[in-house]
Amino acid sequence: MNSGTFVIVELLGGVALLLWGVRMVRTGVMRGWGDRLQRFVEQRLSNRLTAFGGGIAATAVLGSATAMALIIAGLAGAGAIGATTGLAVLLGADIGSALVSGLFASGSSLATTMAPLFLFAGYLTFGASSEFRPRNAGRIMMGLGLMLLALKVIVSATAPLREATLFHDVLAAIANEPVLGFLVGAGLAWFCHSTLAVILLIASLLTNGSLEVAGAVPLILGVNFGGGLPAVSATLDQPSVARRLPVANLLCRGLLAIALLPLARQIVDAAAGVPLDPLHVAVGLHAAFNLTVAAVFLPISPVVVRFVDRLIPNASAADDPLATPRYLDSASLTTPAVALSNATIETIRMSELLERMFKMSLTALSSSRLETLKEVNAIDFKLGTYMGSVHAYLGRLAQGELSGGDTRRAFEIMLFASNLEHAGDVIKLNLADRIRAKIKQDIQLAPSQREALDMLCDEVAVSLRLVPVALSSRDVGAAARLASQKDRFRALEERAINEHLGREGMEKGVSLRSNALFIDLIGDLHRINSHIAAAAYPLIQAAGLLNTTRLRTSALSERLA
């Protein structure tokens, strides 16, 4: 392997290590403290300024403006955040990401000493603890160590490029052709899905003298434009209300980046008068760009939002009547009875979505075709949108004066919505994944196993059909029948397991993989049915028909005696 090839391979390895470190930090933060981070942002949505500050602080911790954009898009899709407030959060997120980039780039000289310490401390923390959050803290420290180590690798790999004539010719072409540099920076940011990684790469080239500020300016402008593309592409399959905020953020960044591109030479001349080294000049330009975006577009964010609303209309709602909630009328909040009726209708529509999602999964199970599972994630997102909208609507209703009966009714509806959404999560995260594994690994279930699964699926379908009746009529008998589906399913489940995994099942020669998948599928169906049936508990508890325990207390006392 010649020296040029070795440099390229080492550079690619360093970039890959950097991206993996960024991913580990983001994953550790989201797994360990993602709920708190989201609540932190939600608590600062009262106005644009506090939302802007919350976006800066949260992204400085998370380290990824793209991840924050996806969180805010989800909140917007659920109706929990307004468009102008959401755009303020994203503008703050860009600044938070720029601050993190500057911190790492400026501290590159510490990489040699800090990287091993972070890696060692992270390994000890992760390995020594069995608790969830400490393990994720270890994951974050290891991610930081990998990022610093990757920065060291990249700087080392790019050092020989100072003597490479061809490489300097390429960088000179970028400096002389700002449009080319802009496109290269945008492409790298989109490909890497991380402005942090690309800014650190540019910083390493500046550190070893391979790149001049004149070539870095168009690259940095392109990076800031391309940094908005991953969030836009990641939300393409989501409802229009969730797609608008990433597009609005891209529009703000893109307009300023394109406007400044013809002034690249003037920016370089102005930067030459700043008494800083090229590395800190580039980092300062990156941060200054995002501060300028916020200063220009935060005051006129309503104008940007209105433009994006026209650009991305609500056309998809007409194609699918269940695409978004339709009946949560704000004017009805003054009349609690009407508002509760509206929330009930939307929760019933949730059960229709869940039934559609469940049938898609069963079709994939019986036909062994992966194509039928493509819509599962989209429907699960709609379920989350419905639940968030219903909860937010009833939360606004609860701010007024409600009678005791209306308060209980609001709680019943919220519980129904939550349980239906949880059932959808089980379908998406468990049932659909097991069906994919069955199809990809070509696991064949025995005819008796398929028959047992069909019987259990029929019981889940019965539970789903009972939801509208129990919820809309508040009939205690219908609610009791829905709750009793849990006991009926359990009895059928025990019979199926005893018949197919006992001595008789072993004699049939069923493979171990089939048996394992069969048990897992039954467990998923059990959880789905339990979530649906549990929604009826508040009604039957209010009627005094709910037992406090399933244990036979007399038999339990004899065993404990």
Whether residue 154 contacts residue 201, with contact meaning beta carbons closer than 8 Å, is answered with: yes
Tell which of 311, 340, 368 closes a domain.
311
Burial 365-385 (b: 16+ CB within 10 A, else e): beeeeeebbeebeebbbbbbb
Domain assignment present for 317: no
**Domain count for the chain:** 2
pLDDT of residue 278: 75
Distance CA 69, CA 97 (A): 12
pLDDT of residue 247: 92
CATH number of the domain bearing residue 413: 1.20.58.220
Q: Tell me which residue has tokens 């029948």.
A: 481
Same domain, 305 and 334: no
Q: For the chain, list residues with pLDDT below 50.
A: 1, 316-318, 503-505, 507, 553, 556-557, 559-561
Quick one: how far is CA 348 from the chain centroid? 26
Tell which of 266, 284, 311 closes a domain.
311
Domain assignment present for 25: yes
Domain assignment present for 446: yes
Same domain, 414 and 537: yes
Distance CA 86, CA 249 (A): 10
Domain assignment present for 318: no
Same domain, 149 and 20: yes
pLDDT of residue 487: 86
Amino acid identity of residue 47, one-letter, is N
Same domain, 303 and 346: no
Tell me the two tokens of residue 134: 């400490």
Tell me the two tokens of residue 106: 């400026």
Same domain, 51 and 167: yes
Same domain, 51 and 98: yes
Domain assignment present for 324: no
Same domain, 373 and 343: yes
Same domain, 296 and 407: no
Tell which of 282, 311, 340 closes a domain.
311
Same domain, 382 and 513: yes
Q: Domain span at residue 515? A: 330-558
Same domain, 353 and 462: yes
Same domain, 277 and 373: no
Report pTM.
0.58
Domain assignment present for 325: no
What is the signed CA dihedral for 12, 21, 155, 201, rounded to 10 degrees?
70
pLDDT of residue 503: 46
Domain assignment present for 217: yes
Same domain, 412 and 271: no
Domain assignment present for 493: yes
